[in-house]
Amino acid sequence: MINRPSYLEQLSIAVQRSPVTALLGPRQCGKTTLARMFGEGQDTVYFDLESQPDLIRLQNPELMLGSLKGIAVLDEIQEMPGLFKVLRVLVDRPMNRTRFLILGSASPDIMKNASESLAGRLEFIELSGFTLQEINSESEKALWLKGGFPRSFLADSDEDSMAWLEGFIRTFLERDIPHLGISIHSAAMRRFWTMLAHYHGQIWNASELGRAMGLSDKTMRSYLDILTGTFMIRQLQPWHENIGKRQVKAPKIYFRDSGILHKLLSLPDYHSLLGHPRVGASWEGFALEQTLLTVKPAQAFFWSTYSGAELDLFFLHKGRRYGIEFKFNEAPAVTKSMRTALETLNLDHLWIIYPGRQSYPVQDKISILPVCDLLAIRDKLRQN
């Protein structure tokens, strides 16, 4: 088992601060394991809402949950959406001493129900697969190839990892999607998902994908929103610096887990990955996701103009502006586009993230930084 101290700390703070904490993330990312680790040594009662005995215990949820003290964990909360109103009643009682930790995989439903029933009483924590900070440095390539889902990353071989990922994809398409009340044929969604893998790291073009699949732009958009809402895809929105200039307005599309990307691209091992024409885009997406999970900016964007200037990642922190470029290159160089971004966006600093091992400044306000040393960005932000 891999320890996850950062998430345990977040849970500890959130549970003390808010009567209800929602731990969200895709299936099989480790939510249940993390919740059990958090509950060790504390007065904790655990309910699995996919378990028939636990459902029976909750036939009268207000009576059952209202009698508890300490922490009550409700796993797979989307199975009983009616519990949100019950939780509101319970946490509003003056003598309530119970903290509720709810776990869920389907964020659209959970966030909608939570916002309606638990406004002002709920704190969200989003859980991902393993990050670079949670593994040893020798496993960086394995994390990139296999992705961060625990059972994929910890598999004994690349073959076992890919077999697990195939099972995950099938279950997601054939059970999880219909379970959300979405009636899309699994074969059509898999075809879309596979085609989307070839657009990883590119600007979204619904018309191009729609023509390829013989479906409307609106249908393509709905498919994309489903994969985004279930934590499979990240839509990175563009930053508009000057509305008077022509700038890209569509989001960039990234797979949040590199293992799923590689499975859909039929890349079973590291050798196949390095020889694939999309290897650079794959690494960029992997580094982007690791950066966002480490730095945790309130909002993140990319910046691009039709004249060719662009920046992979842009965010603000305490009023200051920062940029990040991702380069799958052992000796990345400062480009004209980077200098344009530095000047146009008035960046306080720009980092070039690469797969090497040495950190060093290259120009005023521009530094080279290894992907394994992303904590250095977070530390710098905390100093400012």
Residue 220 tokens read as 């393509």
Which helix (H) or strand (E) element contains residue 123?
A: strand 122-126
Name the nearest CA neighbour of 250 among 265, 270, 262, 235.
Answer: 235
Question: What band does 87 get if pLDDT is binned at 50, 70 and 90?
Answer: very high
Question: What band does 245 get if pLDDT is binned at 50, 70 and 90?
Answer: low
Q: In whole angstroms, give the CA distance from residue 346 to residue 354.
A: 23
Q: Which residues, including other chains, have CB under 8 Å from residue 88's CB and lie 6 or more apart?
A: 117, 118, 121
pTM of the model: 0.93
Q: What is the mean pLDDT of residues 201-223?
A: 93
Report all structural domains of the chain as residue ranges with CATH numbers, in order of start.
Answer: 5-126 (3.40.50.300), 132-383 (no CATH)
Name the nearest CA neighbour of 341 among 377, 316, 312, 363.
Answer: 312
The highest-confidence range among 103-112, 194-203, 247-256, by mean pLDDT, is 194-203
Give the orientation angle of helix 375-383 with respect to helix 279-295, to 10 degrees: 40
Q: Which residues, including other chains, have CB under 8 Å from residue 61's CB and lie 6 or more apart?
A: 80, 82, 83, 86
Q: In whole angstroms, give the CA distance from residue 203 to residue 238.
A: 10
Q: In whole angstroms, give the CA distance from residue 370 to residue 327.
A: 10
DSSP string, 304-336: EBTTS-EEEEEEEETTEEEEEEE---SS----H
